[in-house]
Amino acid sequence: MANFPDEPQVLLRRSPRKSQNVATPMEIDSQDGPERFAPWYPLLQKVRQDNRNRQHNDTILVPVANDHLQQAEKDVLKHINRTLSVAPKIFDNHLVPSNDYPAVQLRNGVLTLDLSRPPKNLGWLRSRLKSTRHVPDWPSHKWQSYTMHSYMGTTKEAIMCEMMPLFQDFPNKPEYIRSFYQRFDEFPEYAAFSRGIEKPCPGFAQGFTVAAYPCVKIEYLSAAVCVSHDHASLVHPHLAGDFTAGDVNDLEAVSARHGAALVYMRNLALDHMRVEVIKDMAGIITFTTNGTYINFFAHYASTSAEGKVEYHQYPIASVNLMRSYFEFIQGVTMLRNCQEYALLMATALKDDLEKYHVRNGANAWAYHLEEGDHILSESEDSEMEDGECREHGNKDFTCRNRGPNSQKRPAGKSPDESPRKRRR
């Protein structure tokens, strides 16, 4: 910054606008969706205003010839600069070193294997994953070729590529996609369990795209869309996996974090529909593998006696893919059964969300508080025409907005009272 000690100086604002196409603050706020009526929306507006103030206070000193203009007191300027520098940054996630992740995760409520409790449906999950199935695309000679590859000492990307034929394809589900090492850029940084930790980036994740939700503005639902790009999107994945070139047990902390993220997303969607989550029931599965061993884990959330949310990770099964052809087929069977289970859970959640929004219309974006329903949006975003929904095969429910009074409620309840939560 240039100094002109012999001449008086004045503070001038440098315009942050570079073109006439830049949106005004009012235009930016008007582009927001139903979240503008959320309880945290005033905080978002405050952060935006702070950012605008910082831009407008990007000042420069220039000499002027007017003797009546006096420079502001240095202590006042210093106070202003100090205030701006220490202004709170909402949702700014300060990362810790990666080697501190396990300790930070435990402090955030992501439990280790020895601290996690088994889910109530553990036996059912094990029988579901181990249920027999025909695997015609992996004869014994192909397995022998698989065992000839040396996996120790190579890269995790190479292991991932070698293991891709083990996964099942879903050609009849074009909107059910897989992602590989795709960071969840849309995942909320304010999630309590992820404080100090980078956003989830599993080596494998599988879920629906935004296009699979024709009757729901799914991008307005918090933590629903974890990946959103011009060419692809990922919504509510129920399966995630991680690869390594070393010891597969080293991925336990990573898998716990990714499983917690998927549980967090699913539970937010259920809470949005006022569906009560069944206690200690696992609906999310993750896997870890180094090409030789593959481990499967069940994930769910519970509340401690102190009221803190805790995320559990419990082992379901482990298979050695190299020991014998029988165990290899068992591992492939479990992996594909796991994929089908995740597809079943994701489809059920998607259908429930669509039915809930079509049945409630704009009232689906209401915050159901103790004192009554608070409408989040009066727009027609959630209203769908009959023909548009029928194009996607949703014939079991109407697509007209029937209004708040058409919603089913328990006997004796008035329309002003919020319905009871359903259990799922």
Domain identity same for 206 and 264:
yes
User: What is the widest separation between alpha-carbon atoms in the chain?
Assistant: 92
| Same domain assignment for residues 341 and 373 | no
Judged by DSSP in three states, 242 sits in strand
**Does residue 373 share a domain with residue 404?**
yes
Is residue 322 included in any domain, yes or no? yes
Q: Which domain holds residue 328?
A: 98-355
CA atoms of 416 and 371, how far apart (whole Å) = 9
Q: Of the candidates 316, 309, 267, 250, which has an alpha carbon nearest to the alpha carbon of residue 111?
A: 309
1: in domain: no
Based on the fold, state whether residues 255 and 399 are members of the same structural domain.
Answer: no
CA of 80: how far to CAs of 52, 59, 85, 92, 355, in Å? 15, 12, 9, 22, 52
Name the one residue in this structure whose structure tokens are 């009074």.
Answer: 405
Q: List, in order, residues 6 or more apart from 84 with CB less than 8 Å away.
A: 53, 54, 57
Statement to judge: residues 238 and 295 lie in one domain: yes
Any domain includes 93: no
Contact 297, 316 (CB under 8 A): yes
Q: Which of 245, 188, 237 is nearest to 342 (CA)?
A: 237
Closest CA to 190 of 94, 110, 84: 94
At what angle are helices 252-272 and 101-108 packed, to 10 degrees?
30
Q: What is the pLDDT of residue 83?
A: 37
Rounded CA separation 38/18 (Å):
32
Rounded Cα distance, 311 and 112, in Å? 9
pTM listed for this prediction: 0.68
Of the three residues 322, 355, 388, the one that is the final residue of a domain is 355
The answer to whether residues 19 and 102 belong to one domain is no
Residue 338 CB contacts under 8 Å (≥ 6 apart), including other chains: 129, 239, 285, 287, 296
266 and 320 share one domain: yes
Beta bridge partners of 311: 110, 301
pLDDT tens series, the chain, 424 aa: 445 445 444 444 444 444 444 455 555 555 566 656 565 666 666 666 666 665 555 443 334 344 443 444 444 444 434 433 333 334 455 677 777 778 888 999 999 999 999 999 999 999 999 999 999 999 999 999 999 876 655 888 889 988 999 999 999 999 999 999 988 888 887 888 888 888 889 999 999 999 999 888 888 888 888 887 767 789 999 999 999 988 999 999 999 999 999 999 999 999 998 888 888 999 999 999 999 999 999 999 999 988 899 999 999 999 999 999 999 999 999 999 999 999 999 999 999 999 998 888 877 776 554 444 444 433 333 344 444 444 444 444 333 333 333 343 333 333 333 444 555 5
CB 248 within 8 A of CB 289: yes
Distance, in Å, from the CA atom of 118 to the CA atom of 122, rounded to the nearest integer, reads: 7
Report pLDDT for 290.
93
Angle at 368 between CA 359 and CA 343, to 5 degrees: 55
Whether 4 is in a domain gets the answer: no
> Which residue, 359, 348, 361, is CA-closest to 409?
359
| Residue 287: count of CB within 10 angstroms of its CB | 26
Helices of type H across 182-324: 252-272
Structure tokens at 262: 């998927």
Examine the domain organization and report whether 350 and 403 are in the same domain: no
Q: 381 and 266: one domain?
A: no
Going by their DSSP bridges, the two strands 367-369 and 372-374 should be labelled as antiparallel
The answer to whether residue 396 is domain-embedded is yes
The answer to whether residue 211 sits within a structural domain is yes
What residues are paired with 12 via a beta bridge? Answer: 60
**Which pLDDT does position 49 carry in this prediction?**
66
Three-state secondary-structure class, residue 60 = strand
Question: 3-class DSSP state for residue 96?
Answer: coil
Q: Are residues 35 and 173 in the same domain?
A: no
pLDDT score at 252: 93
Which one, of 172, 226, 218, 186, lies nearest residue 343 by Cα? 172
> Is 94:196 a contact under the CB 8 Å cutoff?
yes
Are residues 131 and 186 both part of a single domain? yes
Q: Which of 355, 377, 393 is the last residue of a domain?
A: 355
Residue with tokens 């993220």: 261
Among 85, 118, 137, give the residue marking a domain's end.
Answer: 85
pLDDT reported for residue 226? 85
Q: Which tokens hold the place of 45?
A: 């507006």
In a domain, 92, yes or no: no
76 plus 117 within the same structural domain = no
**Counted domains in the chain:** 3
Q: What are phi and psi of 158, to 5 degrees?
A: -65, -40
91 within domain boundaries: no
